[in-house]
């Protein structure tokens, strides 16, 4: 039922954290976890991330697929983790509206590191996994930082690189909140 949205710069540790969260809910909470990964979708689309993020149409296709896979996967008991940058405010708003219409709680897990540190992590990746400078810079420039005072970005859990996973905080954020009521007004939509 609940949806966890990973958010962060390229090479900020999103996939690593998503797997940690998956492990926690599977092994310690005995929940079914569905991990929807941008890497897997891109591989099915037969396109490499350094190409996709420089082609608006392809990037839009990726977001549509992430969105539809997330909606398809939401059930009453499972946990769905959307492992992608989710850096566009409008996309997060759309997911907020969708999860609300299904009365499904959601939370953001933000991998909060500087572009310099993210680049450093990127440099240590294998050639196949690396972002090239052009794609990396483009994604950094287009990153729309979440803000917890926006309803669609709330609740938001911020993670620094060395933080121990605040697993309990994440569990509470999605399992101990009242489910949102559908069809409430959706004022203050992002521009």
Please give the residues from 105 up to 124 whose contact with ligand ADP meets the rule CB under 6 A: 121, 124
- How far is C-alpha 83 from the geometric centre of its chain's CA atoms? 5
CB count in 10 Å sphere of residue 150: 16
Q: Which does 8 bind (CB under 5 to 8 A by kind): ligand ADP, Mg ion, none?
A: ligand ADP
Nearer to ligand ADP, 32 or 120 (CB): 120
Phi, psi (5° rounding) for residue 27?
-80, -35
Any residues with CB less than 8 A from the CB of 146 and at least 6 apart, and which? Answer: 7, 89, 92, 108, 110, 153, 156
Query: Which of 15, 22, 86, 122 forms a contact with Mg ion (CB under 5 A)?
Result: 15
Peptide bond into 16 cis (omega under 30): no
Q: Which does 125 bind (CB under 5 to 8 A by kind): Mg ion, ligand ADP, none?
A: ligand ADP
120-126, long-range: CB within 8 Å, 24+ apart, which pairs?
A: 121/11, 121/12, 121/13, 122/10, 122/11, 125/11
Nearer to Mg ion, 17 or 100 (CB): 17
Point out which span in 7-15, 60-68, 133-141, 178-186 binds Mg ion (CB under 5 A): 7-15
Does 11 help bind Mg ion (rule: CB under 5 A)? Answer: no
Contacts with Mg ion by CB under 5 A lie at 14-15
Contacts with ligand ADP by CB under 6 A lie at 8, 10-16, 121, 124-125, 161
């Amino acid at each position: 039922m609940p949806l966890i949205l990973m958010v962060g710069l390229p090479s900020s540790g999103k996939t690593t954290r998503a797997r940690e969260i998956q492990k926690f809910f599977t092994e310690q909470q005995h929940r079914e976890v569905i991990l929807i990964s941008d890497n897997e979708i891109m591989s099915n689309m037969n396109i490499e991330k350094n190409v996709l993020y420089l082609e608006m149409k392809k990037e839009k296709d990726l977001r549509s697929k992430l969105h539809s896979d997330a909606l398809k996967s939401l059930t009453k008991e499972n946990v769905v983790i959307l492992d992608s940058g989710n850096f566009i405010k409008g996309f997060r708003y759309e997911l907020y509206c969708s999860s609300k219409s299904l009365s499904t709680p959601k939370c953001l897990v933000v991998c909060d590191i500087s572009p310099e540190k993210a680049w450093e992590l990127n440099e240590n990746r294998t050639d196949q996994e690396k972002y090239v400078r052009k794609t990396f810079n483009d994604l950094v420039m287009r990153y729309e930082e979440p803000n917890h005072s926006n309803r669609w970005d709330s609740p938001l859990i911020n993670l620094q690189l060395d933080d121990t996973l605040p697993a309990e905080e994440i569990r509470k954020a999605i399992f101990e909140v009242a489910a949102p009521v559908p069809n409430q007004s959706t004022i203050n939509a992002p521009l």
